[in-house]
Structure 1
Amino acid sequence: MSVLILGATGFIGSVVAERLRSCGYAVTGLGRNPDRAKLQHPDIRWLKADLGDLTTAADWAPLLAGQDIVVNCAGALQDGPHDDLAASQERAMLALYAAAGQAGLRLIVQISANTADSGAETAFLSTKRTADRALASSGVPHVILRPALVIGRNAFGGTALLRALAAMPGAIPIAYADNPIATVSVDDVAACVAKAVAGAIPVGGDYDLAAPEILRFRDLVALHRAWLGLPPVRILSLPGFVSRPVGALADLAGRLGWRSPLRSTAMAVMAGGVSAGRQGASPADVTLLTAAQTLARHPAGVQDVWFARLYLLKPLIVVILSAFWLLSGLVPLLDPARAAYFLQPFMPTAVAFLATFLTCALDIALGLAVLYRPWARRALLGMLAVSAAYLVGGTILTPELWLDPLGPFVKVLPSMVLAGVTIAILEER
């Protein structure tokens, strides 16, 4: 039996893909950037496509050829440079349902969310809700699964934020600290998908997936801190209004392509807590692990502590690098004559001024480009290349600056290391 998995490179989709492959199904994974997944999972057939571009039945026809079942694990929190919720979570799904009838699909398994909880008016949940209702009335055989907060060995989005909060030094500040959070193991989600694909879950069902134990947000953070092997600290409960400016800043980052779990959509959901679901019962004969049991099955290593500590530092590092390069380009423009002074012994005055203005423009461009996620890697590589060029050129023209008390050359080296570290931790999954 052939199964097409949408969002197969994602947090949930990758686990589902491996689970179905191990069960003997012919798995095809669809993702926007499956290059790394091809190397990690060569036994899975990979297709490259953006759901936002698949908005007609004709777009889906070649992808569904030879497929028996589709599992939709794709999703995005908010609109951004690479995410169009209306296109990917609504129009693409309606087109899929239309194509499913023509292709004779046996089943669609939809990984959705509890769309009736707090934050129901957000684009994330409203597009999910529209797609779910359309699927339920489409006549296509289907199963809808609505997991609570998904946790597992890997981390992305909300689960990554949990680990980052848990690893903070000193007291941990948390808004909505006493709100209830229902969880479910990503392995249990994959197991339920496998049951649905095997026909062990009734077709047409709408099921909630949440462990029986519901924790307060503060307790879930404390549980993750213990899992990381860190000593307990005090948790500071912040008023809910603190989340609004944080969400606004995260939304700004989102418009620049950074998928922060602190965006306003996540805050709107957290304001009411993550419930165990209200729309359907859990599938029969399914036992779901609690958060403590899930974490106990996957002991943390030092790499998990590194990830947790670096997660919130990454945006700070990017901002610092941006500020460093912007200032290095803007400050010389306050006194161009003085900035060009060091070049004048080696070239005509006009050329020295031109070189000064060009290098300032380059620095400013790199400082701005690193803030835009799609350009960040190239900007960071540019920073390394330009820094190396500055040091080589400066060493040839003015080697005495290596011994200058203010260390203008020496200070370039830490910025190069910081750019290299940012490249190393740039990928999200």
Structure 2
Amino acid sequence: MFDNLSDKLDKALHVLKGHGSITEVNVAETLKEVRRALLDADVNFKIAKEFTNTVKEKALGQDVLTTLQPGQLMVKLVKDELTELMGGETAGINLSGSPSIILMSGLQGSGKTTFSGKLANYLKTKKTKKPLLVACDVYRPAAINQLHVVGDQIKVDVYSEEGNMNPVEIATNAIAHAKQNGHNVVIVDTAGRLAVDEEMMNEISNVHKAINPQETLFVVDSMTGQDAVNTAKAFNDRLNFEGVVLTKLDGDTRGGAAISIKSVVDKPIKFIGTGEKMDAIDVFHPARMADRILGMGDVVSLVERAQEQFDEEEARKLQKKIAKNQFGFDDFIKQIQQVKKMGSMKDLVGMIPGAGKALKGVDIDDDAFKGIEAIIHSMTPQERTEPAIINGSRKKRIAKGSGTSVQEVNQLLKQFNQMSKMMKMMQGGGGRKMMQMMNKMR
């Protein structure tokens, strides 16, 4: 995400390298490129200009960070301003009310129905809520079917009324149903149009007045750039929504909507959609996103995702196996499966500082582990438990069974041995030293 913007900002900030001090001349030169990068990312001209003017004022008035190199100082100033531009603080979701009512709004094709499912799944798994999805898109039968399919997928109840074309009635009846059936969150999916029109605005305004939601979220396709920002303003003028949801952020290489939308509507971005799967939803953290845009990675989010998949009991068993030198390929494949649950490989790599830049142009496929898994599944149970017994003839059989070459089998065995040694080392002083280093980095 934001690949083009990240590349252009990186080049712009390189202008200051080699200068011993910050002057009006080299600041102007750098910020001219920064402004151009923002405009290319489809950021509103006025916002881009105000952004660079603010950074310039701070850079020229800077006298406290004299120990830093100008390039480092400029990166910090740009990061701080990007963070502020995107909202500054992380905005939470209001789950007060009994039940909590969340109204979803947005144009057709913005990903509203899919995101309603993702939000329900998030609230169910992360907040231990019992959500109810409500189908109020009465004009598009496929939308009602889609919501039921999504509900089945995530095991969340869906409320709909066949033949009823009154979304206000459906939403009101759904809330009564939720109270009777112990649902503490109601997510109302409303109809979208191809463009903003008076009929659509009147309808969603009527639903809003009838159910008085704690949260009204505007769902927008981030790939539509500045058009998304303009649509958000039109909706906000009528609905006065509480927050924005940016979908399809994984496909947006520009980032203009994420950067501009808070300034235009003065409402925070609360969630982002980062893929097609039902767990591809993240709380929006402005500071972390600024880090990612500037190629600094997002270690905190990476650690949080890892912790979500962390099973303490499994970890204890694994620790004992490593200590006894019993770590085998069955254990290895379990670790692979946990990594795959953390999200798309491209997204995970983008969270590692410097990795995105180092692997620029490399196609990171979500099926990156397929070959490894095929090789392991072609081993016998004994071979997976005792890799040391795998000799030449066994390697040939494994290669043939997995559709790979003997060289690839050898490479996996070599990597596995290296990893086993490293894990063994982590059981001793090496692990303590690494933890001490990580604590210092916090």
TM-score higher than 0.5 here? no
- State the TM-score, normalized to the length of structure 1: 0.31
- State the TM-score, normalized to the length of structure 2: 0.30
**Bigger proportion of residues as helix:** 2
Q: Which has the higher contact order (CA 8 A, sep 6+)?
A: 2
